[in-house]
A and B are shown apart, each in its own frame.
Chain A
């Protein structure tokens, strides 16, 4: 068993039990040992199910940010049969936090757009921990437009704490480029399938998130603001991030209930970081399924379908008070 880089507090009892199991498995086999091994495996399975079914939203954030959680580059290896990366926005540079390129998924040829956080220090420095700059959003838009031109469906894998907040990013129009992506993605005449694979951090996530089908991995989250950012503003201190996480209702179950996502993709027992292959297989199956479904849509249907999907989001009341009072006045007049 590979040693995890981080053991989250609520995972500790699971790992302890797994260590015991390991020790037991090294013992000479006897009927009694075999019996205890079997029991212990059952116990571990139950424990994993139990622990992960009761995660607090703040704990979900820890899982979504787990350093061993599969990232874009892992999925490129495990989900796709081929990836031909296309670099550069033809104007400023090549954003490493946001990768784009042709990819093959069984019979489907797609344009893959995704954020990568970095699995080691070098990658993380290159990728700014998955925080894209304006040139990243610009690159994404130009590749998506190309995909539209050739009728290639677009697959977006979202994993970002947010768009990069820096001087250069502001100078080069972070707000403008995200805004432009929102507007243009809504009109693209090709299927768009989006999945939040880890962190769905506000505008930076939505900037590649306008899809016909939007799904989320079981322990990913998708939020208007990071729990730390929210805590800093509303509770005046980052230490209240756990409260903010609960208040923001951004876990996969909440997202599905509110109609923000169409589907939750189940994670392997003990979450994605415990079994990259199984997670990838699950993701691959879901992506292929949805690409297949969208294949039957005409260009017009695709655009209208995407429009209606976002058009219908919003919770408000409609009270026609004035009309009522005018009505009662007219009645009195009469």
Chain B
């Protein structure tokens, strides 16, 4: 696995992606063999901590082998604001592409899950925090429009700590409206949308498509919320309650239907599809 694109490209340690043969679990602190973690669908064999999953691995975990057909890969990002913080957005995009092997934070397409055809889209938190700019918004919108046309269920696995992407400014904010409007048409056409929340799903992504599932599933202990925990604690000037903005917190407050471990994710999604679509 040493040469996979998940390995840091510029020597900087990448979020949630362990390197080397042995890794330490951030939850139980156990030192675990990486291969065992990989075999356990990127979870800790000791405490079932859910590690980050790169897009391609996620596709393999969810869909029938070789069944995924990527769509809209011709879309690539631009720099409409000529944005520059510590480095120009254009350079940042190239760096992120090299680092992750992805062209953008979202991959979408059609695949089969235990024989059931569906549209799958994934936002990957390793690419500018999985934030939604024009390309992410457009890919999701096209995927949903296609699903409406083809009458297929839509599964979106969100991993977006960044919400709407700052580097594309107000255009990113409007993607929230665009994707939600597409979901609205899909909803009206009685399409099934299963939203899967993974660590982290925040901000503008949480406040648009990720919250609009007919059924909302969440991986255990994922960070999910609108405002970042730091912003909330600065606003209330208090320490945040334990477990604030976790999947469990959301389920307790009624915003998640089921918390599903990664081992059961595929079978649970398939089951829900069977209840709603293939009766």
Contacts and interface: CB of A to CB of B under 8 A. Distances in A.
Given A178-B207, A182-B180, A314 B76 contact: no
Interface in B118-173: 134-135, 137-138, 141, 163-166, 168-173
Interface in A143-190: 163-167, 169-176, 178-180, 182-184, 186-187
A224 B78 contact: no
Contacts of B135: 314, 316
B212 interface: yes
B174 A175 contact: no
A317 B78 CA distance: 7
Interface in A292-322: 306-307, 310-311, 313-322
Contacts of A230: 166
A234 interface: yes
B81 A248 contact: yes
Given A174-B226, A255-B170, A183 B207 contact: no
B171 A174 contact: no
A249 B169 CA distance: 7
Nearest to A225: B166
Interface stretch (B14-22, B26-34, B236-244, B261-269): B236-244
Instruction: Categorize the interface residue count of chain A.
Output: 35 or more
A258 B181 CA distance: 20
Interface string B194-207: 00000000011011
B80 interface: yes
B207 A186 contact: no
Given A224-B173, A247-B83, A307 B185 contact: yes
Contacts of B74: 318-322
Given A176-B211, A209-B177, A184 B184 contact: yes
A235 interface: yes
Interface in B12-69: none
A41 B209 CA distance: 54
A318 B176 contact: no
B232 A166 contact: yes
B247 interface: no
A165 B227 contact: yes
In order of increasing CB-CB distance, the 7 nearest A-B pairs are A165-B227, A182-B180, A186-B181, A175-B206, A314-B134, A179-B211, A234-B85
B171 A165 contact: no
Contacts of A229: 231
A250 B86 CA distance: 20
Interface residues of B, number: 66
Contact of B235 (A165, A250, A311): A165
A184 B184 CA distance: 7
Nearest to B182: A311
Contact of B170 (A166, A179, A222): A222
A165 B164 contact: no
Nearest to A211: B177
Contacts of B85: 234-235, 247
A210 interface: yes
Contacts of A223: 169-170, 173
B169 A315 contact: no
A191 interface: no
Interface in A246-275: 247-250, 254-255, 258, 260
B9 interface: no
Secondary structure type dominating chain B contacts: helix
A316 B134 contact: yes
A301 to B, nearest CB: 15
Interface in A221-245: 222-225, 229-230, 233-235
A273 to B, nearest CB: 24
B99 to A, nearest CB: 18
Nearest to A181: B180
A144 to B, nearest CB: 14
18 contacts: A166-B227, A166-B232, A167-B240, A170-B226, A170-B249, A173-B253, A179-B209, A179-B212, A210-B177, A223-B173, A224-B169, A224-B172, A225-B164, A311-B181, A313-B175, A317-B76, A317-B78, A318-B76
B128 to A, nearest CB: 11
B132 to A, nearest CB: 10
A203 B228 CA distance: 13
A313 B187 contact: no
Given A206-B173, A233-B166, 7 more contacts: A169-B226, A170-B249, A175-B225, A182-B177, A184-B184, A247-B83, A250-B170
B245 A170 contact: yes
Given A166-B236, A169-B226, A175-B225, A318 B75 contact: yes
Contact of B227 (A169, A182, A209): A169
A315 B171 CA distance: 8
Interface string B79-99: 011011110000000000000
B177 A310 contact: yes
Nearest to B83: A247
A202 interface: yes
A175 B207 contact: yes
A160 B135 CA distance: 27
B58 to A, nearest CB: 22
A327 to B, nearest CB: 14
B255 A258 contact: no
Interface in B246-265: 249, 253-255
Given A183-B184, A315-B168, A322-B73, A258 B80 contact: yes
